[in-house]
Amino acid sequence: MSSPQSNARTWQGPSAQERLALLRRTRSIAIVGASNNPARASYFVTTYLLSGSPYRLFLVNPRETEILGQPVYPSLADLPEVPDLVDVFRRHDDLPGVLDETLAVGAKALWLQLGSWHEEVAARGEAEGLTVVMDRCVKIEHARFHGGLHLAGFDTGVISSRRALG
């Protein structure tokens, strides 16, 4: 979901060490664009975070009321508490509005998922004091830092690129 106008990437995101520190200090995550569709990345991430992380999750989608047994809120403003981190699964053109909502509720971090990159949102978010991460997956990063990539199906223990026989 890179910008339709330009694929140039000039913004530099937090280092691995900084992302680890962010995930360690985070206690609650709002997933904006949460989906009840198992084929969607947001559903997979929600499933993982519910089962394999210590975070309080708040799901945000104005068209849903419940996902995976969790209540779903129509907007960030409707959440029962301010989330530490806002994890975004929305189209590129929706990102400035999500940034506005994130700033309005007082969250501390904005995380745009794999494939999601918006230079203006990153610059404005950082100027307003947010920690911004783009084009990364919270689930993959959490698993990487906490030894759980095998849970995600990424670390099979096979070193070779060849398939196992048998």
What does the pLDDT read at residue 151? 42
How far apart CA 83 and CA 93 sit, in angstroms, is: 23
Are 61 and 46 in contact, with CB atoms under 8 Å apart?
A: no
Confidence (pTM): 0.84
What does the pLDDT read at residue 129? 97
How does strand 56-60 pair with strand 28-32? Answer: parallel
- pLDDT-flagged residues of the chain (< 70): 1-7, 147-166
CATH 1.10.260.40 fits 16-152, yes or no: no
What does the pLDDT read at residue 11? 86
Q: Residue type for 43, please?
A: Y
How far apart CA 20 and CA 120 sit, in angstroms, is: 24
Alpha-carbon dihedral sign for residues 26, 141, 124, 77:
negative
How far apart CA 86 and CA 109 sit, in angstroms, is: 6
What does the pLDDT read at residue 5? 47
CA angle 33, 38, 41 (to 5 degrees): 50
17: Cα within 13 Å, side-chain hemisphere: 0
What does the pLDDT read at residue 146? 74
What does the pLDDT read at residue 160? 39
Domain ranges of the chain: 16-152
Are 46 and 142 in contact, with CB atoms under 8 Å apart?
A: no
